Each structure stands twice: as C-alpha cells, then as structure tokens.
Structure 1
C-alpha cells in the first residue's frame, strides 16, 4: 500500500521556508544551536508562527539546516564532475567542504555526528559517492596520489577542518599537498641524477 504523497507547498510558503533555512544557517553558524527561534524569525523577516509552521521545534530546524547544507555540498560536487581540470576541481571542492564546515557550526556538528543530527544513509552515500567520483577523476588526471582511497578522505577532511579551526591561514595546504601526486616544490626532491 502506497503512502500518501506530501502536500506541495505554495510558492510563498516555499520562499518563506527557504528564507527561514537561510537565516537559521547563518544564525547557527554565528551563535551555535542555542540561538532562539525568535532570532531566526527576525533574521528571516518572518513571524515566529511561520518558523513553527515549517519547523515545529528547534531540533527539526537544526536538522533541516544540516541536511540542506549537505545537499548543497553534494550538488556542488556534481557540478564539478564536468570540470575541465579534474585536479583543480577536486582540490577546490576539498577546500570548500572544509572551509564551509569551519564557518558553519551546524555543519561541523553534523559532520562530527554531534547533537544526534545525522544525514540519512542515502544522503551520506550520495555525498561520499560524489566526493569519490571527484577523487577518481583527479587520480586519472594524475593530480592526486593513487594510493589515496575515498575512505581516506573523511578523516583527512576532519583533520583539515581541525587545522583550519586552530590555525586560520594556509596551514591546511599541508594536507592538500600530501594528497597531490606531485606536491608543489617537491617534484624532484629525491632525484639524484644530473
């Protein structure tokens, strides 16, 4: 027996929901999950009732923000799968995911599986699948070491996020340079000929 389809939101309701999600993402990034729902409504330019109509609790709003962020990142990975320079597309995306996690506390919490917010297995598989595709394309192009696996990327991303959180600047290049097939400035480091 099929379950009934979810009702489609009217255009104005979709816009309000998107405004609430955007405002919540900003508020959670600025203040963490303790930000009041009234503050999110104020930032979105809607009444508190509008927030509660779409998200009956702060937890449901927090979860929606985290899942929306993961969906956006997955979509951005899909877009990079058509890039003419697979190596640059991979490294650009790797940095984007880490930088977004540093800037967005809600996403950081989700990536660390904190607060009970977890992407669905389908969302997790989709995100990791696109990341693996970007990796494979970059490896075929000779831009990324061939001994790196897709499973290696999640802990490497976590390390990159930790570095960026502790040392803003370019120290994260240590990780990205370690992923490169030929790190900048090290191509002939061990060449003893000539």
Structure 2
C-alpha cells in the first residue's frame, strides 16, 4: 500500500468514526450502517473493510469516546482550580454516559465485555486523578472515592433517559457536585427542570 493509500484509508476511518458517533447518538446502537457510510461519503464496502461488523464499529466508537474523555481529564489536571476541573470533567462524563449507555449495553456480550471493563478502568483512573487533586487542595471531601462519583453520575444518566427529563441531569449533577465539596456551599440556585409539553 502506498503512502497516499494509507493516508486515504486513515482519513476514511476517521470520517466513519466521526459520523458513527453522530448517528449512534441520534438513532442508538441499532442505527443503519449504510446510513453511516453514506453520510461519511464512502461506500458500504469501505465501512466493512475498516469495521467488519456492527460490534467492531460500536467498540471503536466507545474507545474513541473514552480516549477523548481521558485526554480531557489530562488537560484539566493542569488547570488552576482543581474543584472546577473536577466539576467540568464530571459534566463531560455525564454527557458521555447519557449518549453511550445504549452502546455499552449493546457491547456487553461475549468478548466485548472485556472492552467494557477496560473502559471502566480508564475512566476510573481519570476520575481518581482529578478527585485526588481536589482533595489535596482541600476542596473535595476526603472520604469520597472516584468509584462513588462514577456510580452517582451513571445513576443520573440511567434515571434521566426520557425526553421530558431535559433539565433534570444538570440539576441532579449540581446536587452531587455540592455534596463533593469539603465544605458544601450553594452559591447559586439549582438549574430549573425543563419538562416537555407532553410531560405530566
């Protein structure tokens, strides 16, 4: 394979991954693979050369999202405020958990279960780094663990999956963030809950 072919193949893979992230977020893990290929500007054959089946594509999308979250955590470790860095990353993790829960469920079969364990270990490490830094600065309570935080945020994601729950995730996360502080303080009101017109 020539250098040009290798470059084209890499760009096609990147386009397919970026498009798959969008389409799976819109339509869930059962989204049409032909639609993904079409929106990425390639043929189905190109998609299947890079990702031989749906599971391979879902796993690649999940890995890509985890890479982005871990890189974000690394960047935040250099920020001045450990407290705000932790809060910012937990907001990003909540968004990830809400979008990715269908992918995670679809992958928790067979050998893909190991991927889920590896992703959890990496996310746990990212959360631990940010939490430990906040604890050392005296802004986060010392009896809190990274696993506590992840379980709380995942719980928010799982319990607010309905369209009518639009504002509830931010409201619940605000409560969690307040509870993580060494000296809890609430300087602003909780975010409003936004209900859809069809909610009762």
TM-score range (shorter-chain normalised) is 0.7 to 0.9
Residue 176 of structure 1: how far off its partner (Å): 1.6
Aligned to 1:189: none
1:162 aligns with 2:163: no
Residue 110 of structure 1: how far off its partner (Å): 5.0
TM (norm. structure 2) is 0.78
Q: Which of the two has greater helix per residue?
A: 2
More displaced 10-residue stretch of structure 1: 22-31 or 141-150: 141-150
Aligned to 2:92: 96
Aligned to 2:70: 74
Q: How many Å separate the matches in 1 of 2:180 and 2:159?
A: 16
- Cα 1:111/1:177, change in 2 over 3 Å: farther
Aligned to 2:40: 44
Give the root-mean-square deviation of aligned CA atoms.
Answer: 2.2
- Cα 1:61/1:43, change in 2 over 3 Å: same
- Cα 1:168/1:143, change in 2 over 3 Å: farther
1:171 aligns with 2:171: yes
RCO comparison, higher one (Cα < 8 Å, 6+):
1
Q: How many equivalent pairs are there?
A: 175
User: Which runs of no fewer than 5 residues in structure 2 stay unpaired?
Assistant: 188-200
User: Which runs of no fewer than 5 residues in structure 1 stay unpaired?
Assistant: 1-8, 187-194
Q: How many Å separate the matches in 1 of 2:19 and 2:42?
A: 10
Aligned to 2:193: none
On the 8 A contact 2:142/2:182 being kept in 1, the answer is yes
Residue 162 of structure 1: how far off its partner (Å): 3.3
Cα deviations across residues 155-185 of structure 1 (Å, max 9, x unaligned)? 1121232354353223121122111222323
More displaced 10-residue stretch of structure 1: 167-176 or 21-30: 167-176
Aligned to 1:108: 101
TM (norm. structure 1) is 0.80
Aligned to 2:196: none
The equivalences for 1:173-192 within 5 A come to 173-185=174-186
Which one of 37, 55, 63 corresponds to residue 59 of structure 1? 55
Q: How many Å separate the matches in 1 of 2:121 and 2:108?
A: 20
